[in-house]
Chains A and B, each alone.
Chain A
Amino acid sequence: MKRHLLSAADLSRDDALLILDTAEELARLADRPIKKLPTLRGRTVVNLFYEDSTRTRTSFEAAAKRLSADVINFAAKGSSVSKGESLKDTALTLEAMGADAVVVRHHASGAPHRLANSGWIRGSVVNAGDGTHEHPTQALLDAFTMRRRLGSFDGRRVTIVGDILHSRVARSNVRLLHTLGAQVTLVAPPTLLPVGVATWPCAVSYDLDAELPKSDVVMMLRVQHERMNAAFFPSAREYSRRYGLDGLRFAAMPEHAIVMHPGPMNRGMEIAAEVADSPRSTIVEQVTNGVSVRMAVLYLLLSGSESAIGSTEETS
């Protein structure tokens, strides 16, 4: 039975820990002269990217290649997709190419679910970010980075700050970190929190200064200037003053606390340069860890006769 990774909700605590433990072993390969493993030789992994995301695509590409899989990069720009081919027809094409896994980045929430559950393809589907829904491998690499820095999740307080409403990173992190036993608090102006957030397994606050001294991890999300025009907040300056992580606020965090950011950053907007470049910032480390975590996901989904992780259930 092929399985998929569509949402952080697909992962039980055991699944998530298996991925993190496997990634931990794989991360040790980074020190070896020969980083490649023969494990997925003969398998084909397709990177189907409807949005530009060089960092996520290259991370998946490196992960698949280190496992010896054949990688096909199928970018929406410059392919038949931009000529208006439907997701279904693209999927049928990939199936005809013999894709064992499709790593999909799509601007529409739920597009990976459609790929996985519509009978268009037989391979495993990995969600590499869909619309404003989820980005489960980003949450896994964030969790991996946190565990390396802090040891464990139990009782750890994670504060996620910024545009929660439009953030797939926040959605996946809330789910996954809750599963792993951390306490998550979302901090944002009320306009950037979804209606219905009260039912999420986390706390919500509008006051960043009140949360910082209690936080073990502060994760800053990118805030797009366009949101200003849609009246989500009055000005970049006001946003930055109320919700930006500057040096003064950084100093209010506990000594051991770390700063995370999924990138790309708006320096000076949600995060000050001095904070982003501090040794307690894990931003570069997150990128490195991304490859190990994605190797673990591909390995556990694809290597066996049955996947070790993920969702099998067709929700439709």
Chain B
Amino acid sequence: MLEASDIRRVLTRIAHEIVERNKGAGDLVLLGIPTRGVPLALRLAERIGEVEGDAPPAGSLDVTMYRDDLALRPARGLGRTDIPGDIDDKVVVLVDDVLMSGRTIRSALDALKDIGRPRAVQLAVLVDRGHRELPIRADFVGKNLPTSLSETVAVRVEELDGLDVVMLGVKGEQT
């Protein structure tokens, strides 16, 4: 659905939108949600740096311990949480690869609350595939991808997977 060049273009656009919306990059902190939100957050910070001169701090926020579906799935290990400095009175931009039910973002908002009190929280996602289960929307969307629940969206990123691509598949098939 998206090739490497599309992803590059989309991230550049989002970087511009973030700067535009926040009138600069002064108070920004970008937090990626593991696993694939993290490299996307680092890339966005870099792009913003190219636009604004200084790259905003970027890190990661693991939400596993805050999920509401923990008891429904086998126990699993944790992702890395790495908060670059203080987030009090900053504008935190959460970055994730795919937005669907919104439950991950709800967990992220809970996790943020235990770390500090940002002035505002915004959300940037590479793909929004609909099917929201909570009143949550993204501020910055790379691509709206209306999909059926029987389909899967797989995001691959260079840093972890060796290539940049977004693929659409059918549940149960290898993507």
Residue contact B66 to A299, C-beta cutoff 8 Å: no
In the assembled complex, B23 has its CB within 8 A of some CB on chain A: no
Considering only CB atoms, which chain A residue lies closest to B76 in the complex?
A: A308
What bracket does the count of chain A residues touching chain B fall in? Answer: 20 to 34
Q: A25-B62, A305-B72 are in contact. Are A38 and B110 (CB under 8 A)?
A: yes
Q: Give A3's nearest chain B residue, CB to CB.
A: B75
Whether B81 contacts A28 by the Cβ 8 Å rule is: yes
Specify the chain A residue showing the minimal Cβ separation from B74.
A306
Q: Mark A23-35, 1 if CB is under 8 A from B, else 0.
A: 0011010001110
Instruction: Tell me whether A269 is interfacial, beta carbon within 8 Å.
Output: no
Q: Which residues of A contact B78 (CB under 8 A)?
A: 21-22, 25-26
Total number of residue pairs linking A and B with CB closer than 8 Å: 56
User: Nearest chain A CB to B86's CB is how many angstroms away?
Assistant: 11
Say whether chain B's binding surface is mostly helix, strand, loop, or mixed: loop
Residues of A296-310 whose CB lies within 8 A of B: 299-309
**CB-CB under 8 A for A302 and B75, given A25-B80, A38-B65:** yes
Q: Is the CB of A299 within 8 A of B114?
A: no
Tell yes or no: B71 within 8 A of A by CB: yes
Is A36's beta carbon under 8 Å from chain B? yes
A234 to B71, CA, bound (A): 56
CB proximity to A under 8 Å, residues B85-111: 110
Q: How large is the interface on B (under 10, 10 to 19, 20 to 34, 35 or more residues)?
A: 10 to 19
Question: Closest approach, in angstroms, between the C-beta of B114 and any C-beta of chain A?
Answer: 4
Inter-chain CA distance A307–B77, complex, in Å, is 11
Q: Pick from A34, A300, A304, A308 the residue with the most CB of B within 10 Å.
A: A304
- Bound-complex Cα distance A300 to B74 (A): 9
Q: Is A37 an interface residue (CB 8 A)?
A: yes
Distance in angstroms between the alpha carbons of A306 and B104 in the assembled complex: 21
* Cβ B75 vs Cβ A34 within 8 A: no
A308 pairs with B65, CB closer than 8 A: no
Most central of A25, A34, A307, A308 by chain B CB within 10 Å:
A25
Contacts of B72 in A (CB 8 A): 305
Question: Which residues of chain A come closer than 8 Å to B73, judged between CB atoms?
Answer: 304-305
> Closest Cβ of chain A: how far from B13's Cβ, in Å?
33
The reply on A179 being an interface residue by CB < 8 A is no
* Max count, chain A CB within 10 A of own CB: residue among B66, B74, B78, B115: B78
Contact A25 B71 (CB under 8 A): no
Verify B65–A37 contact, CB threshold 8 A: yes
Residues of chain B contacted by A287 (CB below 8 angstroms): none
**Inside 8 A of A302's CB, which chain B residues have their CB?**
75
| CB neighbours of B77 from chain A (8 A) | 18, 21-22, 300, 308
Residue A90 at the B interface, CB < 8 A?
no
A110 to chain B, nearest CB (A): 26
Q: Which of B73, B76, B116 has the most CB of A within 10 A?
A: B76
- Give the contacts of B50-71 with A (CB-CB under 8 A): 62, 65-66, 70-71
* Interface set, chain A 144-179, CB cutoff 8 A to B: none
Residues of chain A with a CB closer than 8 A to B74's CB: 304-308
Cα distance A301–B62 when bound, in Å?
19
Task: Indicate whether A39 reaches chain B with its CB closer than 8 angstroms.
Answer: yes
Q: Are A34 and B114 in contact (CB under 8 A)?
A: yes
A21, A299, A302 interface centre (most CB from chain B within 10 Å): A299
**Shortest distance in angstroms between A299's beta carbon and chain B's nearest beta carbon?**
7
Please, how many angstroms separate the alpha-carbon atoms of A230 and B78 in the complex?
Answer: 49
Q: Give the docked Cα–Cα distance between A26 and B116 (Å).
A: 17
Segment 1-48 of A: residues with Cβ below 8 Å from B: 18, 21-22, 25-26, 28, 32-34, 36-39
Given A25-B81, A26-B78, A34-B114, CB of A303 within 8 Å of CB of B71: yes
Interface pair B62/A299, CB less than 8 Å apart:
no
A217 to chain B, nearest CB (A): 26
Known: A67-B65, A305-B73. 16 other contacts (CB 8 A): A25-B80, A25-B81, A32-B114, A38-B65, A39-B66, A300-B75, A300-B77, A301-B75, A303-B71, A304-B71, A304-B73, A305-B71, A306-B75, A307-B74, A307-B75, A308-B74
